[in-house]
């Protein structure tokens, strides 16, 4: 009887994965992975609707062996970024060693494995010009020989500085190598990259609209988002801080954040409650603030979350943390005291 149940479950799982004969229907996918400074960073997606419907477990395994399904260790640091994307980290890896990662899901004793992915050993150093560029009305879409505005590596994202849009109809996209072979645009027509607002991207997508002005345009290929911040808004004069349960949502001054490079950090923040809600805002005012795109998002120690302007409150569990903010991307990181986030 037990063997029959396993066979039935295998058929259900196989049907759930089936997609024109390939593995694109596998419910957990790895989209990008790389190793730097002994830490592997893995970005991917998961079909949580299917996982929850059938009460499957899922995860990742890694190994220096090319068959991590048989010889690998489980990845412990895995966090959902939203309802369908995740990021995972593997610490303590050896330099100059090729590592492999495989996704899996299952139920009981039955486990199915996806495609094995080799972690890239090459990550561009900060400040290095990349293959990515901004193409749009600012360079006549490349039709008159004016090259795309170059984007520079900063952590795991890419920034084009001082892009000037001065037409009545300003639009742009992201593409590689001044060519259309690989390009990204908005999911649908009419999406505006207003100041700091992230826009989701898709290959061969629609033009992204933007108001006139001079912008720093930030592209995150891991999360497939782009945003634009006015380059004449001097971040050095902005006093970012934490506002939430700890200061009765503004009854007392916000907890200040110290500027470190292009990041801001509040060191050793003590959160005494089981669930501690807060947001980040500028100059003790709600005119400019960041929260999460979805309601009820909790951030665990050592993980990060994408932010959006005027978003929902996020929460952390009881403990003491260093809270890091990158207002350009925008991302927030909850770290153990003294630990710098992996960017």
* pLDDT computed for residue 26 by the predictor: 74
Q: What pLDDT, in 10s, does the model give residues 331-342?
A: 899 988 877 776
Kindly state whether residues 262 and 242 are assigned to the same domain.
Answer: yes
The neighbouring-strand residues paired with 136 are 172
The domain spanning residue 30 has which CATH number? 2.60.40
Q: What are phi and psi of 249, to 5 degrees?
A: 55, 45
279: confidence class by pLDDT, cuts 50, 70, 90: very high
Residue 1's pLDDT is what?
45
Q: What percent of the chain has pLDDT over 70?
A: 82
**Nearby residues of 321 by Cβ (< 8 Å), 6 or more positions away:** 268, 269, 271, 301, 334, 335, 336, 337
Same domain, 135 and 105: no
Residue with more model confidence, 147 or 262: 147
Residue 19 located in a structural domain: yes
Given this model, what pLDDT does residue 304 score?
86
Phi, psi for residue 170 in degrees, rounded to 5: -100, 125
Q: Is the separation of the CB atoms in 312 and 295 below 8 Å?
A: yes
- Least confident span in 97-101, 146-150, 227-231: 227-231
Domain membership of residue 123 (yes or no) is no
- DSSP letter at 341? P
Q: Domain tally for the chain?
A: 3
Q: Does residue 323 sit in the same domain as residue 253?
A: yes
pLDDT of residue 128: 53
Last residue of some domain: 175, 195, 230?
A: 230
Q: How far is CA 206 from the centre of its chain?
A: 21
Tell which of 58, 89, 118 closes a domain: 118
The answer to the question of residue 341 being in a domain is: no
More reliable by pLDDT, 307 or 16 = 307
Let me know whether 242 and 323 are in one domain. Answer: yes
Average pLDDT rounded to a whole number, residues 151-158: 70
Judgement on whether residues 19 and 99 belong to the same structural domain of the protein: yes
Pick the closest to residue 164 from 185, 134, 132 (CA basis): 134
DSSP 8-state code for residue 156: T
Q: Do 174 and 245 sit in the same domain of this protein?
A: no
Q: Considering the chain, what percentage of its residues have pLDDT values greater than 90?
A: 24
Same domain, 58 and 26: yes
Report yes or no on 340 lying in a domain: no
Residue 98 domain flag: yes
Assess contact for 125 and 135: CB atoms under 8 A.
no
Highest mean pLDDT among 9-13, 106-110, 147-151, 279-283: 279-283
pLDDT digits (tens, 9 = 90+) for 198-223: 889 999 999 999 998 878 788 888 87
Domain that holds residue 34: 2-118
State whether 207 and 144 are in the same domain.
yes
* Average pLDDT for the chain: 80
- 3-state helix vs strand vs coil in the chain, percent to 5: 10, 50, 40
* Assigned domain for 343 exists: no
Mean pLDDT of 137-153: 81
Q: What is the pLDDT of residue 25?
A: 57
For residues 5-33, give the mean pLDDT. Answer: 49
- CATH number of the domain to which 199 belongs: 2.60.40.3620
Dihedral sign from CA coordinates of 329, 153, 160, 216: positive
* pLDDT at res. 175: 95
Are residues 79 and 139 part of one domain?
no
* 267/320 same-domain check: yes
* Domain finish residue from 118, 146, 161: 118
Least confident window among 25-34, 242-251, 286-295, 306-315: 25-34
Is 163 within the bounds of a domain? yes
For residue 235, pLDDT over 60 is answered with no
Q: Provide the pLDDT confidence category of residue 99 given band limits of 50, 70 and 90.
A: confident
225 with 303, same domain: the answer is: no
Is residue 124 a part of any domain in this protein?
A: no
State whether 13 and 113 are in the same domain.
yes
The span from the CA of 167 to the CA of 207, in Å, is: 15
């Amino acid at each position: 009887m037990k063997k029959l149940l396993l066979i039935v479950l295998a058929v259900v799982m196989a049907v759930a994965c089936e997609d024109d004969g390939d593995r694109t229907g596998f419910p957990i996918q790895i989209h990008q992975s790389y190793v730097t400074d002994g830490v592997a960073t893995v970005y991917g997606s998961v079909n949580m609707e299917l996982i929850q419907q059938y009460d499957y477990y899922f995860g990742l395994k890694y190994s220096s062996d090319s068959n991590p399904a048989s010889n690998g260790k489980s990845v412990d640091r895995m966090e959902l970024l939203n309802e369908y994307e995740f990021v995972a980290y593997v610490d303590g890896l050896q330099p100059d060693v090729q590592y492999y990662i495989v996704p899996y899901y299952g139920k009981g004793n039955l486990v199915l494995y996806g495609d094995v992915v080799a972690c890239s050993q090459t990550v561009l150093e900060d400040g290095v010009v990349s293959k990515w560029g901004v193409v749009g009305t600012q360079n006549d879409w490349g039709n008159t020989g004016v090259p795309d505005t170059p984007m520079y590596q900063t952590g795991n994202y890419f920034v084009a500085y001082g892009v000037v849009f001065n037409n009545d109809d300003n639009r742009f996209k992201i593409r590689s190598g001044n060519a259309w072979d690989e390009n990204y645009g908005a999911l649908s027509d009419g999406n505006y990259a207003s100041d700091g607002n992230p826009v989701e991207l898709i290959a061969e997508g629609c033009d992204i609209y933007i108001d006139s002005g001079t912008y720093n345009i930030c592209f995150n290929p891991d999360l497939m988002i782009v945003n634009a911040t006015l380059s004449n808004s001097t971040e050095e004069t902005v006093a970012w801080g934490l506002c939430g349960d700890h200061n009765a949502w503004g009854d007392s001054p916000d907890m200040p954040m110290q500027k470190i490079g292009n990041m801001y950090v509040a060191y050793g923040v003590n959160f005494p409650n089981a669930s501690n809600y807060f947001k980040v805002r500028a100059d003790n005012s709600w005119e400019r603030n960041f929260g999460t795109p979805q309601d009820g998002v909790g951030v665990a120690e050592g993980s990060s979350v994408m932010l959006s302007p005027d978003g929902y409150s996020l929460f952390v569990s009881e403990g003491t943390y260093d809270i890091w903010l990158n207002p350009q991307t925008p991302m927030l990181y909850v770290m153990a005291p003294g630990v710098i986030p992996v960017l």
